[in-house]
Amino acid sequence: MNHLSGRKIGILGGSFDPVHNGHLAIARAAYTDFDLDEVWFIPAGHSPNKNESGMTLPEYRAEMVALAIKPYPYFKMSTVEIEAEETSYTYLTLTKLKNRYPDTIFYFIMGADSLDYFEEWKHPEIICEKAVVLVAVRDHWNMEDVKKKIHAIEQLFHAKIYPLSCDRFDAASRNIRQMIKKGEDTGQLLPYAVSQFIKEHHLYENEK
């Protein structure tokens, strides 16, 4: 592959409600291990998998991402999904990005837990056509099991999928929201600027 023909851009999507250190660790691992030019964080607009009434306003979630990635010149944020009126399906986002930047090689970063139901996503074949897929594998996962699943999906969708090793990060955004509601310390889990933003805007204090 001629790397001069196009930039290599990682794509990390999510509701980022809130963005946390685990997201940054995955993005850094992808950037380093696959020699990417940049990683783009894409906060979800209308998420297909989440009840939106419980989601924090998109402009707040985008602001938290902007604060979290500020120290990293190779991380960027795209509001392509927030600006879209339709549901934020990955295949649509990747199609838009590939149309805008046809010479760019996109690397879509997903969690190993999502791999188990990847066939049920909307148009997984289009995702695999538009991007190389990187699967973030935590250190407590069985790599052999993940590789078997990767092989099966590669056969199914003519995909290029690679495992991405990440350090263990035990807190999900959902747990962090609960911790904030209870007044527990989340300092180790969140970038400092994100913690401050959450306090200033009293986010998650009445989490269900």
The predicted-structure confidence for 162-179, as pLDDT tens digits, reads as follows 999 888 787 899 999 999
- Asked if 165 and 29 touch (Cβ cutoff 8 Å), the reply is yes
Q: Give pLDDT, residue 88.
A: 83
Spatial neighbors of 135 by CB under 8 A, at least 6 apart, are 110, 111, 112, 115, 146, 150, 161, 162, 163, 164
Within the chain, which residues score under 70 in pLDDT? 1-5, 47-53, 139
Q: Does domain 14-169 sit in CATH 3.90.1150.10?
A: no
- The pLDDT, as a whole number, for residue 1 is 43
Grouping H, G, I as helix, E, B as strand and the rest as coil, residue 98 is helix
pTM (global) more than 0.75: yes
